Structure formats: C-alpha cells, structure tokens
C-alpha cells in the first residue's frame, strides 16, 4: 500500500514515515504544500496524510484541488487546529477523517488501515477470499484457519491482492505499492514473492492456487474450481 505524507514539521514527518514503513507501507513524503499537491495529483496513493498548515499551499486548498480533479483517494487531515469549526471545514472540503496533534502513532496506523479498507469497499478488518483470511488489524493471514508465516513484504502483497480480489494487477502496479525510491526492486522481485506466497499457502492446504497469472497482464487473486 502506498501512502503520501504532506507535513512540514521534519520531526513529526520523520516519525510518521518511520512508523508507516515499519509496518510495510510504501511512503512518499513532502514538506511543502505545492510539492505535496503535485504528488497527490500526479501519483497514485491508497491514502494521503495531509497537514492543514503548510508552506506554499495550505491543506484545504490542496484538498480542494484533489477533489476537483475527481481523485477519490482517502485523505486524513493532521493538524494542531483542533477546534470544531476546523474539523467541520476539513470534512466538508472532502477529507475522510481528522486527527488532531499530538497523536499516538498506533492510532494513526489504525486510522490509515481503516481508510484503506473503506477505500477499497471493505468495512470490516477481516478480508476473506474463499478459505483465505486477511486480518488487516493484526496484519496477519491464514488459510483454512492455519496461520501463514509471512514476511512483511509477503503480507503486504497478499493484502493488496486480497483487497483488490478479482482485479488483474500488473507487475508495475504491484511494484509501485511494495517499493519506494529507497528500495528499488530486482526485476523478478514480484514473481519471487508470488512464488513464496503460493508455496506457503500450498503448505497450509491450498491445493488449487488462488493467485493466478494472467500472461502479459499480471496477477489476480480469486478462488476457482480449477486452474
């Protein structure tokens, strides 16, 4: 999952970025409103974390430009201006949630997880496809009740495939949601991760694979009667 963090405080932005990356999110960051707006308009994200008071362009103006461009990416506002009228203005301007400063990193992560689920049409923390179960709150996966021992990257790839269940996802799309500029992938990184996921699910009793290859297109997660 890919997150944009637009926050001018170097200390707070660094704390947020570290917390997100530690849990496996891919993060783009910006300390300037104009740069953050450009990234929000030109790049694809699963959630945008947006400070209200920014140099160059404030958060409400950025939010207006995002929604005017018909970009539906969930936006979580971060601000020390925690008066009721500020929250109302942000929400009426198109924000999906609001978190006042200071905040606990665990609450931030919980809100990000919830926005990602809702943004993809899942309103409960557990996402299921057949016998596969993804607990987005616990960041764990199981098949037929047997927990899968996954690395952080394997989990994030499986979670993304499950949330987008039934949709064919290209390798570039998967790479974009798994790697940032600090971790450029090897040419076969996605294929290797898919191989490991299939192997671990097979060991858990998944006889018929549920991650399918579409030649020339990418991968899709769906349960079928047969290959």
pLDDT at 227: 44
Tokens for 206?
A: 């998944």
Tokens for 68?
A: 């005017």
Q: What average pLDDT does this structure show over 116-135?
A: 80
Cα–Cα distance measured from residue 111 to residue 97, given in angstroms and rounded to the nearest whole number: 8
Identify whether the C-beta of residue 47 lies closer than 8 Å to the C-beta of residue 116. yes
Inform me whether the pLDDT recorded for 212 exceeds 90.
Answer: yes
- Stated pTM of the model: 0.74
Give the residue, 48 or 102, on which the prediction is more confident: 48
Q: What average pLDDT does this structure show over 198-214?
A: 90
Q: Identify the weakest region by mean pLDDT among 2-6, 58-62, 181-185.
A: 181-185
**Domains in the chain and their CATH numbers?**
2-119 (3.40.50.2300), 126-221 (1.10.10.10)
pLDDT at 101: 87
- 160 by Cβ neighbours in 10 Å (0-12 / 13-18 / 19+) ranks as buried
pLDDT at 67: 93
pLDDT tens digits, 144-185: 899 999 988 899 899 989 988 889 999 888 888 777 655 555
Inform me whether the pLDDT recorded for 136 exceeds 90.
Answer: no
Q: Identify the weakest region by mean pLDDT among 16-20, 136-140, 152-156, 179-183.
A: 179-183
Tokens for 167?
A: 């949709």
Q: How many residues does the chain have?
A: 227
Give the residue, 142 or 83, on which the prediction is more confident: 142
């Amino acid at each position: 999952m890919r997150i944009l963090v637009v926050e001018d405080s170097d200390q707070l932005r660094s704390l947020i970025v570290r917390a997100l990356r530690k849990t496996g999110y891919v993060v783009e960051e910006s300390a300037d409103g104009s740069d953050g707006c450009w990234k929000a308009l030109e790049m694809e994200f699963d959630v945008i974390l947006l400070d209200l008071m920014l140099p160059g362009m404030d958060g409400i103006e950025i939010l207006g430009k995002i929604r005017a461009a018909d970009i539906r990416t969930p936006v979580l506002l971060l601000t020390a201006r925690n008066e009721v009228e500020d929250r109302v203005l942000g929400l009426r301007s198109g924000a999906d949630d609001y978190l006042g400063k200071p905040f606990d990193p665990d609450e931030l992560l919980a809100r990000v997880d919830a926005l990602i689920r809702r943004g993809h049409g899942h309103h409960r923390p557990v996402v299921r496809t057949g016998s596969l179960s993804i607990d987005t709150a616990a960041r764990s996966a199981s098949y037929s009740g047997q927990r899968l021992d996954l690395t952080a990257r394997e989990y994030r790839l499986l979670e993304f495939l499950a949330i987008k269940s039934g949709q064919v996802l290209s390798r570039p799309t998967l790479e974009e949601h798994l790697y940032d500029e600090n971790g450029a992938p090897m040419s076969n990184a996605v294929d290797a991760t898919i191989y490991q996921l299939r192997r671990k699910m097979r060991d858990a009793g998944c006889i018929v694979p549920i991650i399918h290859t579409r030649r020339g297109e990418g991968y899709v997660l769906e349960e079928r009667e047969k290959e």
